[in-house]
């Protein structure tokens, strides 16, 4: 039997976010500001009350919107949920505050429908992976556990936005800006690589950039230790994101190495300075085939401000043969230094979504609303957008046997020497501006004849 949805004031009290005294004080203040018409009802509307509670700092905008929908669950053990951050491949992410320490954190929650034994094991593996890492260019983990059937991972809260959103909203980065971002990511990855941890899903959406210009690598949901590959149930499965996956991982998913992260970081740099993924369009199969066989467009076709030296460095990160690729993330960081020294860091602002954020999930036996209809609500709202939302969908994990059958049809490219690739890049670097100049001269010639 369906029960009636709680009113805003009832939900606010039942949630524990507000006391009756706090609500009464705000109601009295609002009533004193109005001049009621004799004989009219002086009652303050829920909309006016919720707006005032947000203005005076007793509620966040997210909490206010959820209370108006009758949602009442805003606590997870010692954490109070204050905002929705985003949604990634392995769960929803919320901003929260530790009730005792007062520290802002991000909480990743595994969706109820994903709580299979394997998903829970992978989620706990991510928590253990992050727990052993402490570096300024990696998102730190603070806590993990479960409340009923709600499994969660508590990490450092990173204000700002991710690189993918920044490029989509602000445009491509200059060489100096891109070097600042990618160099810091490389330093964080080098720290992880030295401890045997391979990220396996490096991409713009997983590079968070703070308002102060600090880059932090996030989302270790697919990461794995080289020395523990035999114990990882995902060993031999193709995991990652098609736009950024390395050729050698496609050929042999069982063999993971730091070099694969460098290729993905190169693809991320390509996106940062061109605004395009290396192989846009097509289905997942098409993208993967092109990572194996094709060369991407010369970056200067998409950004004519790129220098030949910068393009060479980018090409060395994206070599299809791991033996010809830059060999370590530390070397990537070192080669980025000349451009990073030319200007200041990227300055970001938190992105805001136009859509109503979802409520905090509940576990079995817990209730977040008095209304049994827990379907998503439509409407508009604003919430902090950072980290993993929206992201390019991760490539679904597939059995290694079926993967080998699928990719046996994809021809591996022939071995190309580094000299040949650099020669091609230099030729294109010269050909693009020359072609543009010829086009201008032809146009001027036609105009002269017509006149």
Residue 225 neighbours by CB distance under 10 Å: 18
Contact 322, 418 (CB under 8 A): no
Handedness of CA 120, 123, 127, 133 (dihedral sign): positive
Residue 251 CA, distance from chain mean position: 26
Positive or negative, the CA dihedral 280, 285, 290, 291 is positive
What is the dihedral angle through the alpha carbons of 204, 95, 99, 53, rounded to the nearest 10 degrees? Answer: 150
CA–CA gap between residue 78 and residue 101 (Å, rounded): 9
| Catalytic annotation, pick one of 46, 55, 162, 201 | 201
Q: Are 292 and 225 spatial neighbours (Cβ–Cβ below 8 Å)?
A: no
**Structure tokens, 328:** 């370590």
State the Cα–Cα distance between residues 181 and 189, nearest whole angstrom: 13
User: Alpha-carbon distance 358 to 389, whole Å?
Assistant: 13
Tell me how far the alpha carbon of residue 128 is from its chain's centroid: 20
Please confirm, yes or no, whether 201 is among the known catalytic residues. Answer: yes
Hey, what's the torsion of the CAs at 41, 44, 48, 54, to 10 degrees?
A: 170
Q: Token digits for 71?
A: 């949602």
Assign 49 to helix, strand or coil. helix
> Is-contact 371 2, C-beta < 8 A?
yes
- Supply the residues annotated as catalytic: 201
């Amino acid at each position: 039997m369906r029960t009636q949805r709680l009113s805003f004031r009832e939900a606010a009290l039942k949630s524990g976010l507000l006391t009756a005294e706090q609500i009464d004080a705000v109601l009295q203040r609002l009533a004193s500001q109005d001049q009621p018409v004799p004989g009219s009802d002086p009652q303050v509307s829920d909309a006016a009350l919720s707006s005032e509670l947000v203005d005076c700092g007793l509620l966040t905008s997210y909490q206010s919107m959820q209370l108006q929908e009758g949602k009442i669950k805003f606590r997870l053990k010692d954490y109070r949920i204050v905002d929705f951050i985003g949604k990634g491949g392995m769960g929803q992410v919320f901003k929260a505050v530790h009730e005792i320490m007062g520290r802002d954190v991000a909480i990743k929650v595994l969706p109820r429908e994903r709580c299979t034994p394997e998903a829970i094991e992978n989620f706990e593996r991510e928590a253990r992976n992050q727990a052993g890492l402490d570096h300024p260019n990696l998102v730190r983990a603070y806590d993990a556990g479960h409340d009923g059937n709600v499994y969660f991972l508590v990490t450092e809260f990173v204000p700002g936005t991710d690189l993918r959103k920044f490029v989509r909203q602000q445009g491509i980065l200059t060489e100096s800006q891109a070097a600042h971002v990618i160099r810091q990511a490389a330093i964080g990855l080098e720290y992880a690589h030295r401890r045997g941890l391979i990220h396996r899903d490096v991409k713009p959406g997983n590079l968070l950039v703070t308002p102060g210009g600090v880059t932090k690598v996030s989302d270790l949901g697919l990461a794995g230790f080289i020395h523990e590959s035999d114990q990882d149930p995902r060993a031999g499965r193709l995991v990652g994101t098609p736009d950024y996956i390395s050729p050698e991982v496609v050929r042999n998913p069982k063999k993971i190495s730091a070099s694969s992260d460098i290729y993905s970081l190169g693809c991320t740099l390509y996106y940062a300075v061109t605004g395009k993924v290396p192989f846009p369009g097509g289905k997942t199969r098409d993208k993967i085939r092109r990572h194996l066989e094709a060369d991407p467009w010369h970056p200067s076709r998409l950004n004519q401000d790129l220098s030949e030296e910068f393009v060479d460095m980018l090409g060395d990160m994206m070599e299809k043969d791991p033996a010809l690729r830059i060999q370590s993330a530390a070397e990537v960081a070192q080669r980025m230094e000349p451009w990073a020294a030319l200007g200041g860091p990227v300055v970001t602002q938190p992105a805001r979504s136009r859509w109503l954020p979802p409520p905090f999930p509940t576990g079995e036996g817990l209730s977040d609303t008095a209304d049994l209809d827990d379907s998503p609500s439509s409407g508009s709202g604003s919430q902090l957008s950072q980290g993993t939302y929206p992201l390019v969908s991760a490539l679904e994990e597939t059995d290694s046997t079926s993967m080998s059958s699928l990719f046996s049809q994809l021809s591996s490219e022939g071995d190309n020497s580094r000299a040949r690739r650099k020669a091609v890049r230099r030729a294109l670097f010269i050909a693009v501006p020359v072609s543009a100049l010829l086009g201008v001269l032809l146009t001027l010639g036609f105009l002269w004849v017509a006149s």
